[in-house]
Chain A
Amino acid sequence: MTLERWFRRKKPTKGDDDSSPVGLWLKCESCNAQIYRKDLVANLYVCPECQHHYQMPVDARLELLLDEGSFEQWSGHIQATDPLEFVDQEAYADKLKAAQEKHHRKDAIVTGSGLLNGLPVALSVMDFFFLGGSMGSVVGEEIARAVERAADEDRAFIAVTASGGARMQEGALSLMQMAKTTVALERLAEKHLPFISLLTDPTTGGTTASFATLGDIIIAEPKALICFAGPRVIQQTIKQELPEGFQRSEFLLEKGMLDDVLERSKLKDKFAAYIRLLSGKVPQVTLEAEHVATL
């Protein structure tokens, strides 16, 4: 399903390219309540009973954050080449091809421009359902290009992350995407354009340790897992149970790592407020007025 077709629809509906819960009814994984699928989707993939935030398909995320019909896609003109000819129990090339066919995109990211409450923005949205949202050469390049184009077009940038980390099938090249996305952000910084990072469940590894945590403002959705090393790895290291809520949004807010934890329904208006405030340079007229006042 293409984004263009999606935007012609009025209500978010289940596409065949997302991996959101299937079936008419489902049991909430958090509160065990029986939820009508349509209600969950209409409620922005948030459980109406317990407010548990499910992973959100990319198309729904774009609909959530952008003014209707304003999205223009930038990504999709490049694809991975399997530079290592990586084969484990199956070939990376085959896995990639299957994911491309299933999700109708070239890689685990969509970038583009749009209006957010009328404000010009650009954004990148990672697709966790596409090979775990892992960052390889294509994801890194798409982010870098989008950031640079945002800078050229004077747009604020929003990065929505959902990622298992670096794509190990691209070896050290995927590691290098951490540096690539980081240096690309310099263009945005030089033009004093806001960069808002929205961390969603889960954001881990090399994605967390690069552009995702370099936002001028870093926001997370409730109870999202956000970490460098995953809980299982840490458990293996320390050989004891991890504290309740460890590496979750609320825990990280308490530790000073986030600017806020926000419910999905509040994101758009909050982002608009941040962008307006960050763009609120002291107007010339005020300076003149003050100057007059001091005379």
Chain B
Amino acid sequence: MLDTAPISRKSLFVPEAARILDVEPLTAREKLFRVSLNDRPLGHRPCQFVEVSIAGIGEAPISVSSSPASSEIFDLCVRDVGTLTQAMHRLEPGDRIGIRGPYGNGFPVEKIIGKDLLFVCGGLGLAPLRSLILHCIENRASFRRLTVLYGAKRPSERLYREELAAWAKDERLDLRETVDVPEEGWTGNVGVITTLFRAVEVDPLETVAVIVGPPVMYKFAVLELLQRGIMESRIYMSLERRMRCGLGKCGHCQMNGIYVCQEGPVFCYSDVKKVKEAL
């Protein structure tokens, strides 16, 4: 027989009940859900994620998009790509969902205190990164410059548009945006996100950069940051992988020997540059 400590009979897979308080369409494909757990605050760190489930449909990993300071009510920004996410888009305020988590290491906020912060995000990457940006705005005095570079495919695909408009006017941070494909009425930058780098002034010795975006973006963004003299150990990124369990068991998220769901999703470039399946 197996010699183990007394086994907890609590399955890791049972979701906690949560209520949807509000649903807001952000674009044609993304909706913002304000969610509250029935029994406790979520207690997440920036860039952590939860496993969201609807009974009978399934589960999916979704980043927590709101600040850790307010985890009684937290935000999930969901793009409708498949079974679970489409079912989620049909939900309304008052409906209930299942939540497991928060999972993942989250962002090591204690390591970036006193630094210039350069956030680089593409597309849906703003969903997880927003939790960190909000944290930094709320604790503004702990950081030096805050710069946010945000690239979307089209103006109509920009997430959190009202918030972006407010950030653009906010003196506490420097927001720069670009789109790949302009649409009518767009007066801002056009071009891939790396074009924004050139206009930003960077103090290489004091800057910490954080990259979150679609998989193709990382290599280019890292290269650009290294060229600006930012140290490898000061470049952070949140990596997406397929995830099923969030518990370091199911194997889906493995990047060579690393379980991204537990050891990540936030990694320092210097720690993964030799991991062949990372970038």
Interaction A to B: no
